[in-house]
Structure 1
Amino acid sequence: MRALRPCSSPPYLAPVPQSSTSTLVAFPRQTRPRRRLQPFVLASAPAGQRGRRRSDDDYHATVRSLNSRGRHKPRKSLGQHYMLNSSVNEELVNVAGVGEGDVVLEIGPGTGSLTNVLINAGATVVAVEKDPQMAMLVQERFGSTDRLMVLQEDFTKCHIHLHLSSFLEKNHMERTPFAKVVSNLPFNISTEVIKQLLPMGDIFSDVVLLLQDETASRLADCSLRTSEYRPINIFVNFYSADPEYKFKVERTNFFPQPNVDAAVIRFKLKPTTEYPKVSSRRSFFSMVSSAFNGKRKMLRKSLQHICPSGEIEAALSSIGQPVTARPEELTLDDFVSLHNLIVKV
Structure 2
Amino acid sequence: MLGLTSLSPRPARPSPSPATPPHRRPPPPGGRIRPTSAVSTAPSDGGGAADDYHSTIRSLNSHGRRHVPRKSLGQNYMLNARVNEELVAAAGVEEGDVVLEIGPGTGSLTAALLAAGATVVAVEKDKHMATLVRDRFGSTEQLKVIEEDITKFHVHSHFLPILEEKSRGKKKYAKVVSNLPFNVSTEVVKQILPMGDVFSVMVLMLQDEAALRLANASIQTPEYRPINVFVNFYSEPEYKFKVERANFFPQPTVDGGVIRFKIKDAGEYPPVSSNKSFFSMVNSAFNGKRKMLRKSLQHLCSSADIEAALTNIDLPPTARPSELGMDDFVRLHNHLGKV
Q: Same fold per TM (> 0.5)?
A: yes
Q: Would the alpha carbon gap of residues 133 and 72 (structure 1) be closer, same or farther in structure 2, given more than 3 Å must change? A: closer
Give the whole-Å Cα distance in 1 for the aligned partners of 2:273 and 2:88.
37
Residue 164 of structure 1 pairs with residue 154 of structure 2: no
Give the whole-Å Cα distance in 2 for the aligned partners of 1:274 and 1:71.
48
Tell me the equivalent position of 1:271: 265
Match of residue 280, structure 1, among 254, 274, 295: 274
3-state secondary structure, aligned to 1:94: helix
3-state secondary structure, aligned to 2:318: coil
- The offset of 1:245, in angstroms, is 0.6
3-state secondary structure, aligned to 1:247: strand
Aligned AA for 1:104?
Answer: V
Give the whole-Å Cα distance in 1 for the aligned partners of 2:106 and 2:189.
23
The answer to whether the 8 A contact 1:107-1:185 is kept is yes
The answer to whether the 8 A contact 2:47-2:137 is kept is no
Residue 105 of structure 1 pairs with residue 100 of structure 2: yes
3-state secondary structure, aligned to 1:118: helix
Deviations 1:134-182 (A, max 9, x none): 1111112111422001111000011012211222113345576100000
Superposed, 1:52-201 pairs within 5 Å as: 54=49, 56-68=50-62, 70-174=65-169, 177-201=172-196
- The offset of 1:309, in angstroms, is 0.3
Name which of structure 1's ranges 329-338 and 174-183 shifts more when overlaid on structure 2.
174-183
Match of residue 254, structure 1, among 238, 248, 252: 248
* Larger RCO (CA within 8 A; separation ≥ 6): 2
Deviations 1:108-158 (A, max 9, x none): 001100000000000000000001111111112111422001111000011
3-state secondary structure, aligned to 2:267: helix
Q: How many residues are paired up?
A: 295
TM-score under structure 1 normalisation? 0.83
Q: Would the alpha carbon gap of residues 213 and 91 (structure 1) be closer, same or farther in structure 2, given more than 3 Å must change? A: same
TM-score under structure 2 normalisation? 0.84
Fraction of identical pairs, as percent: 68
Tell me the equivalent position of 2:47: 39
Gaps of 5+ in 1: 1-35, 41-53
Aligned AA for 1:317?
Answer: T
Tell me the equivalent position of 1:6: none
Residue 338 of structure 1 pairs with residue 332 of structure 2: yes
Q: Would the alpha carbon gap of residues 162 and 205 (structure 1) be closer, same or farther in structure 2, given more than 3 Å must change? A: same
What root-mean-square deviation, in Å, do the aligned CA atoms of Structure 1 and Structure 2 show? 1.5
